[in-house]
Amino acid sequence: MSSIEGPSKQTASILERIRQPADLRTLSTAELEQLAGEIRQLITEAVSRRGGHLASNLGVVELTIALHYVFDFYKDRLLWDVGHQCYAHKILTGRKDRLLQLRQENGLSGFPSPEESPADVFSVGHAGTSIATAIGMALGAQHNKTEEKIVAFVGDASIVNGLSFEALNNLGLVKRQLLIVLNDNSMAIDTTQGSLASLLSRVRLSHTYEDIRQTTAMILNHLPVIGKPMEEALQNLKKTIRMAISPSRLFESLNIHYFGPVDGHDIGSLIQIFKGLSELDRPAILHVFTRKGKGFTPADKNPRRFHSTGPFVMNGESVSPSPQGRTFTDAFSDALLKAAQNNPRIIAITAAMSDGTGLSKFRQQFPERYYDVGIAESAAVDIAAGLAKQGLQPVVCIYSTFLQRSFDQIFQEVSLQNLPVVFCIDRAGAVGDDGPTHHGLWDIGYLRMLPNLILISPANEKEMEGALHYAFQQKQPVAIRYPRDLVPVCPPASEIGKEPFRTGRSVWVRRAESEWVIAALGPLTAEALQAAEELAQEGIEVSVINARFAKPIDPALVELFAQGKTVIVLEDHSRAGGFGEALLAEAAQRAFVEKRPDIHTAIGKAVLLAGPDDQYIPVAKRQTQMKWMGLTAENIAETIRKLASADLSVRCKEESIRSRRQ
Amino acid sequence: MSSIEGPSKQTASILERIRQPADLRTLSTAELEQLAGEIRQLITEAVSRRGGHLASNLGVVELTIALHYVFDFYKDRLLWDVGHQCYAHKILTGRKDRLLQLRQENGLSGFPSPEESPADVFSVGHAGTSIATAIGMALGAQHNKTEEKIVAFVGDASIVNGLSFEALNNLGLVKRQLLIVLNDNSMAIDTTQGSLASLLSRVRLSHTYEDIRQTTAMILNHLPVIGKPMEEALQNLKKTIRMAISPSRLFESLNIHYFGPVDGHDIGSLIQIFKGLSELDRPAILHVFTRKGKGFTPADKNPRRFHSTGPFVMNGESVSPSPQGRTFTDAFSDALLKAAQNNPRIIAITAAMSDGTGLSKFRQQFPERYYDVGIAESAAVDIAAGLAKQGLQPVVCIYSTFLQRSFDQIFQEVSLQNLPVVFCIDRAGAVGDDGPTHHGLWDIGYLRMLPNLILISPANEKEMEGALHYAFQQKQPVAIRYPRDLVPVCPPASEIGKEPFRTGRSVWVRRAESEWVIAALGPLTAEALQAAEELAQEGIEVSVINARFAKPIDPALVELFAQGKTVIVLEDHSRAGGFGEALLAEAAQRAFVEKRPDIHTAIGKAVLLAGPDDQYIPVAKRQTQMKWMGLTAENIAETIRKLASADLSVRCKEESIRSRRQ
């Protein structure tokens, strides 16, 4: 039994009658409210089974219903920001029957996906894109002379992103309708980041329920209607809704028409307001208050816990998270705490991902050494650079995919200055359920190009601690990447992680008299070991090296080629730009510069097992994605088995080619 | 004879007496004003000889003098934004004798450089970094409990960048002094981009000279002084300086103390104001009006022409630009115009680099199909993505180094959606005088990882036109990269560019019966041809292939390995992440997947001639930098000459290794 507000199961379902959004227009306000309850029920059930974003989706149900009531998003365009709050939208646009396959292979993505429905415009997952892409679409409509309405839906956490601001600053390019819905679900002062969030909080705290009702009434009374002069209506409206504390001063300084705040759970009023605003002939922003987690008591009380959650048990009012093992995030969290206890110069910085990156304990223990800058990855890196210039030891904790937003800052403010900033890159590699918008498959590629930067991938928990210890001792930038996964439990006899990290030094973890050597990056070392053991039982001997460093490349790895070894490189990363390519190129370079023909003969035999080239990996369990990439122990064993069996015939071929050529 | 306002050469020089900034404090205001004239003289002379940023530097002379009068920037920290306006700062901090070696090998960088002086904090060249790094330094001072003052100096063009906004939004983290000097030299409404710029313009237009004098007086009267209660002083000040149009409403919505606008050429007042503001115990922003190009009539009249200029002749009032040849930018400019005349769906987008990227003609001819979003590279790409979704054909024109700011947008909003956005990437490769902050040495690396994207480098002007024509025909994103250089003049007999572009197809431009094959990317094809001709005269035959595509890799290039060729790859790009690595990895992959031992034997013999690994290339002429990278015709010939002479001995060695191993 769940704790969802709304109708009991006995009541006739309205949701069942909704085949398309247009069906909403046949319902009364009371029925729409009942529908909201049913949608909440479905969302909670889906997330309890599959994990996902609960609180934010529960908060926007009425807003989503009202938007679909007024607009036709098969013709009009709805641009979600981040997109994690699109579940009600999916339910209303023909996907309700598949919601229980949320975030599942061949199921529904947890984010908007044009492949699923023409009502989804962009596949998104990163913050701050909706206003900029909406401007592009509105300009496109201007050029095409078409009349579709454009709506950007952005949360108070995303609008502080630099990209959002760049877009707001360019909103004046648009000379037609473009509505920005600012979904303001800020929870309380203590969790907001930055001045804009603080302004929104002050607005929220200063507005009583009665104020909001009045504002809504004023907007409805004054909204320009067709036939009535638009300028006059807008002027009258501005005169009436000015309050002491209002974002209108901010937005109107930027020449953006501001309306609000209004109640995001009042479907009837929202429909009226959207009807009015859809007729505006210029861009406008509607500020809407919503309550994150509304309707599901545990989520309402603890929206942070239910922002993004794994599956959980719906058990009356209480919620038990599904059991999980120890993750790389946990390992990092404890390793950092330990390092920070002995080193008062360590400062942690994150971009709105305190829990996700494992900084909660650090935040509690060292609040004065912790900074959360909100969804502002670029600024996070530059603030770290400033701290490093002052002799402190900043550690920047950002997911691999979001760190892409900081590429230019890592280049100029960190690598070019050669500052000892430590980057702890969680969610590096395939990420599982979140899918293509969130994979961390490019960080080695964009980081290893940058001079001065060292790039490590630890193999297990012990190595996480070792890598972090090493990183804080360097006088140059160091990045440590690790996946959204459990730390491998290495065999008791394993020595992995015992040896201290030394720059660019790999570690042999299994030595065999064999042509086959696996050079594994990070946790793939455990997979390689398992494959090697399996193969040993079949009489195929394989050596395994824990590469540790994606940059610099260990010269000992290059020497493998001189020994005529067939090197099998494993990395949870795009092959393009990855560690394997770096190793090949480094070997070719040494063969050339050091005039070592002994090196070059075996380079081409290398086998690069990595992410696919030129395609995106769809939503699935991470383990499945690893299989697709050929990176599980089983895959690796199979690849080497084939290589070994082909080896004799290949050798014969080689000889015949060689003799023909000579 | 120059047209600089200020003292004639006969007057005793004050600048000669300034050995360090502290010497400023011995001068009267009249003498400081005379000094400003002398500094202008020196700056104009330096730029006329060496090229550089003239107008912006002339505009900030008094401001720079006043800052150095009040602060001690060997202890206090001055953070320049972009940094192109730091010439007066260099003159005052012990570098005046070297200013005539501006932007020269072993001379002075045109940007701040900690290697030159402890008064320079960060090497910068990109926009929007100063406030974020200043926050980091201020937080560092908080942790260190030190008292140095922090000043961020940012222009009105940079403050609209998303990174600036992310930083402004996080300014509240700082609980101590931090002064932002907003240098507002906006020229006129028609050249400003975005709402903030438009607000600043309205402020400028609505403020008479008398208003500014009054504001200055009010600030001076009310500035909190030590001992006087700070809160009260700030409240009084706020009450007095409110005007109908003021950025104070914008900044104070964000809880940022705003002062201004004040006259940036009034040294006496500026000194008083900086003295007062240096005592503030919290972050503040001072809004200063300056005149770009002030004091040098041609630059004052045409600041856009003198924003960034090559050397010019100082000839009374008139200025003749030094003769130059036809550049890739020119070639692009005309090719785009031609394409756009036949295709009304082409829309051009730039980020404040209309002239630099060659869009001036397009802007004039198709104003309604041209968008300049200001220094907002991230938004530029997303707006393009929105336009492409609407069926238009956006072409995004951004320098390689600044496109790094758009990496995440190219990933998510373009590559993941597979939208046909065309990127025209000027300044790809070594950039010459601008140095390390501006090199375009990483674009192949970060772009070729992204699925769906095609990456081209045209070899000459004809190929630029062909590449652009090809790009607009694709249904997927295409990037075209080209250097800040003249287009190579190919021999009359050359066929380069005649053949139409076909996806992933390279073109042979010289066929020889030889082991040596050069695979050259873009304009390096011309260097390769020249080297091959030189070598032919010595009896060494070399084939040359114009690779055209950095992605996808031509399978025909992979077949070269099967033919046992020694492939010499040329690219004006970091070796790490570059085309050469991609080719090696692609060859190894095919050898593995297609079970082709004939391919892999020669892969390791490949020679990758590219940018250096793990180091930055300093300021010098581009031609010199190309020499350092080993990419001139002469270098290439020398490399192959050595390879050829070593070849016999290498072959012998190989044979002995092979026989030992068998």
> Long-range pairs for B628-633 at CB < 8 Å and ≥24 separation?
B629/B430, B629/B572, B631/B524, B631/B527, B631/B570, B631/B572, B632/B527, B633/B527, B633/B528, B633/B530, B633/B531, B633/B534
B130 to chain A, closest Cα gap in Å:
9
Q: What is the pLDDT of residues A15-50, one digit of tens each?
A: 999 999 999 999 999 999 999 999 999 999 999 998
Q: Is residue B342 part of a domain?
A: no
Please, are residues B309 and B47 in contact by the beta-carbon 8 Å criterion? yes
Please, are residues B333 and B358 in contact by the beta-carbon 8 Å criterion? yes
Window 420-449 of A: residues touching B by CB (8 A cutoff) are: 436-437, 441-442, 445-446, 448-449
- A56 close contact with B: CB closer than 8 A: no
pLDDT of B657 > 90? The answer is no
Backbone dihedral angles phi then psi of residue A319, each to the nearest 5 degrees: -135, 125
Token pair of A496, please? 């992995």
**Which residues in chain B are contacts of A254 at CB distance < 8 A?**
195-196, 199, 250
Helix (H) or strand (E) holding B260: strand B257-263
pLDDT of B656 > 70? The answer is no
- B6 close contact with A: CB closer than 8 A: no
A428 to chain B, closest Cα gap in Å:
15
Q: How far apart are CA B182 and CA B247, in angstroms?
A: 11
- B172 close contact with A: CB closer than 8 A: yes
Mark whether B642 is an active-site residue: no
For an interface test with B, which of A254, A383, A560 has the most B Cβ atoms less than 10 Å from its Cβ? A383
A246 to chain B, closest Cα gap in Å:
8
For an interface test with A, which of B156, B254, B412 has the most A Cβ atoms less than 10 Å from its Cβ? B412
List C-alpha distances in Å: A151 to A95, A137, A182, B194.
Answer: 21, 10, 11, 20
Please, are residues B290 and B184 in contact by the beta-carbon 8 Å criterion? yes
Q: How far apart are CA B636 and CA B659, in angstroms?
A: 33
Supply the pLDDT for residue A485: 97
Supply the pLDDT for residue B7: 45
User: pLDDT-derived band of residue B658, with 50, 70 and 90 as boundaries?
Assistant: low
Supply the pLDDT for residue A649: 55
- What is A435-501 written as a DSSP string? -TTT-B-SHHHHHHTSTT-EEE--SSHHHHHHHHHHHHH-SS-EEEE--SSBPP---TT--TTTSPP
Question: Which of A171, A382, A582 is the closest to B136 by Cβ?
Answer: A382
Question: What is the extent of the structural domain holding B132?
Answer: 15-301
Please, are residues B570 and B528 in contact by the beta-carbon 8 Å criterion? yes
Q: What is the pLDDT of residues B301-312, one digit of tens each?
A: 777 777 777 787
Q: What is the pLDDT of residues A367-383, one digit of tens each?
A: 999 999 999 999 999 99
In chain A, what is the greatest distance between 2 CA atoms, to the nearest angstrom? 92
Supply the pLDDT for residue B460: 96
A383/B133 Cβ within 8 A: yes
Percent of chain A residues past pLDDT 90, beyond the cut: 77
Catalytic residue among A90, A95, A405, A565: A405
Q: Is residue A253 part of a domain?
A: yes
Residues 6+ apart with CB under 8 A from B308: B51, B52, B53, B84, B356
Neighbours of A255 (CB within 10 A): 18
B604/A600 Cβ within 8 A: yes
Supply the pLDDT for residue A541: 97
Please, are residues A98 and A91 in contact by the beta-carbon 8 Å criterion? no
B11 to chain A, closest Cα gap in Å:
42
CA angle centred on B156, ends B154 and B158, rounded to 5°: 60
Question: Which of A408, A614, A657 is the closest to B597 by Cβ?
Answer: A657
Q: Is residue A10 part of a domain?
A: no
Q: Is residue B165 part of a domain?
A: yes
Q: Is residue A189 part of a domain?
A: yes
Mark whether A377 is an active-site residue: yes
Nearest to residue A158, comparing CAs of A118, A120, A186? Answer: A186
Residues of chain A short of pLDDT 50, as ranges, are 1-8, 188-190, 315-321, 662
Q: How far apart are CA B149 and CA B278, in angstroms?
A: 7
Q: Which residue of A has its CA nearest to B562?
A: A657
Q: What is the pLDDT of residues B188-243, one digit of tens each?
A: 444 567 888 888 888 888 888 888 888 888 888 877 665 566 777 777 777 766 55
Q: What is the pLDDT of residues B528-559, one digit of tens each?
A: 999 999 999 999 999 999 999 999 999 999 99
Q: How far apart are CA A66 and CA A64, in angstroms?
A: 5
Q: How far apart are CA B77 and CA B137, in angstroms?
A: 8
Q: What is the pLDDT of residues A570-597, one digit of tens each?
A: 999 999 999 999 999 999 999 999 989 8
Report chain B's mean pLDDT, rounded to a whole number.
91
Supply the pLDDT for residue A423: 98
**Which residues in chain A are contacts of B647 at CB distance < 8 A?**
none
In chain B, what is the greatest distance between 2 CA atoms, to the nearest angstrom? 92
Residues 6+ apart with CB under 8 A from B545: B506, B507, B508, B509, B517, B518, B519, B520, B557
Supply the pLDDT for residue A318: 44
Tell me which residue has tokens 């440590």. Answer: A480
Half-sphere exposure of A21 (CA within 13 A, CB side): 21
Please, are residues B345 and B373 in contact by the beta-carbon 8 Å criterion? no
- A374 close contact with B: CB closer than 8 A: yes
What is the number of domains present in chain A? 1
N-to-C CA span, chain B:
79
Please, are residues B642 and B648 in contact by the beta-carbon 8 Å criterion? no
Please, are residues B446 and A406 in contact by the beta-carbon 8 Å criterion? no
Percent of chain B residues past pLDDT 90, beyond the cut: 77
Please, are residues A457 and A522 in contact by the beta-carbon 8 Å criterion? yes
Q: What is the pLDDT of residues B26-69, one digit of tens each?
A: 999 999 999 999 999 999 999 999 899 999 999 999 999 999 99
Q: How far apart are CA B400 and CA A48, in angstroms?
A: 46
Helix (H) or strand (E) holding B635: helix B633-661
- What is B5-41 written as a DSSP string? -S--TTSPPSGGG-SSGGGGGGS-HHHHHHHHHHHHH
**Which residues in chain B are contacts of A575 at CB distance < 8 A?**
585, 589
- B170 close contact with A: CB closer than 8 A: yes
Q: Is residue B138 part of a domain?
A: yes
- B243 close contact with A: CB closer than 8 A: no
Token pair of A624, please? 């499945």
Q: How far apart are CA B52 and CA B101, in angstroms?
A: 11
Please, are residues A488 and A544 in contact by the beta-carbon 8 Å criterion? no
Helix boundaries (H) for B29-153: 29-50, 55-59, 61-70, 87-90, 130-144
Q: Which residue of A has its CA nearest to B129?
A: A382
Kindly report the three-state secondary structure assignment for every residue of B405-419: HHHHHHHHHHHCCCC
Supply the pLDDT for residue A189: 42
Q: Is residue A409 part of a domain?
A: no
Q: What is the pLDDT of residues B267-316, one digit of tens each?
A: 999 999 999 999 999 999 999 999 888 887 777 777 777 777 778 766 44
Token pair of A54, please? 């609960």
Question: Which of A564, A606, A654 is the closest to B601 by Cβ?
Answer: A654
Q: β-strands A507-510, A542-546: how paired?
A: antiparallel
B38 to chain A, closest Cα gap in Å:
33
Tell me, rounded to whole angstroms, the distance of Cα B552 from its chain centroid: 27
Q: Which residues pair with B347 in a beta bridge?
A: B394
Amino acid identity, residue B451? P
Could you say which DSSP state residue A354 is in?
T
Supply the pLDDT for residue B243: 59
Give the three-state DSSP class for A542.
strand
| Chain A, chain B: beta-carbon pairs less than 8 Å apart | 435
Give the three-state DSSP class for A621.
coil
Q: Is residue B160 part of a domain?
A: yes
Q: How far apart are CA A336 and CA B301, in angstroms?
A: 57
Please, are residues A153 and A183 in contact by the beta-carbon 8 Å criterion? yes
Nearest to residue B568, comparing CAs of B484, B482, B463, B647? Answer: B647
**Which residues in chain B are contacts of A386 at CB distance < 8 A?**
132-140
Q: What is the pLDDT of residues B448-489, one digit of tens each?
A: 999 999 999 999 999 999 999 999 999 999 999 999 999 998
Q: How far apart are CA A635 and CA A642, in angstroms?
A: 11
Supply the pLDDT for residue B318: 44
Please, are residues A526 and A459 in contact by the beta-carbon 8 Å criterion? yes
List C-alpha distances in Å: B36 to A127, B24, B31, B213, B228.
Answer: 46, 11, 9, 21, 34
Residues 6+ apart with CB under 8 A from A600: A561, A587, A588, A591, A592, B603, B604, B605
B602/A604 Cβ within 8 A: yes
Window 264-323 of A: residues touching B by CB (8 A cutoff) are: none
Taking the alpha carbons of B480, B482, B484, B486 in that order, is the dihedral positive or negative? negative
ipTM value for the complex = 0.94
Q: At what angle do helices B29-50 and B61-70 cross, to 10 degrees?
A: 130
Q: β-strands A257-263, A150-155: how paired?
A: unpaired
Supply the pLDDT for residue B659: 58
Q: Is B502 left (phi over 0), alpha (psi -120 to 50) or beta?
A: beta
Q: β-strands A283-289, B549-551: how paired?
A: unpaired
Rg over alpha carbons for chain A, rounded to the nearest Å, is 28
Indicate which CATH number applies to the domain containing B31.
Answer: 3.40.50.970
Token pair of B582, please? 């991609």
For an interface test with A, which of B159, B163, B454 has the most A Cβ atoms less than 10 Å from its Cβ? B163
List C-alpha distances in Å: B232 to B225, B236, B239, B253.
Answer: 11, 6, 11, 19
Q: What is the pLDDT of residues A309-349, one digit of tens each?
A: 778 766 444 444 455 799 999 999 999 999 999 999 999 99
Catalytic residue among B33, B62, B377, B461: B377
Mark whether B238 is an active-site residue: no
Please, are residues A519 and A491 in contact by the beta-carbon 8 Å criterion? no
Strands (E), A173-265: 178-184, 257-263
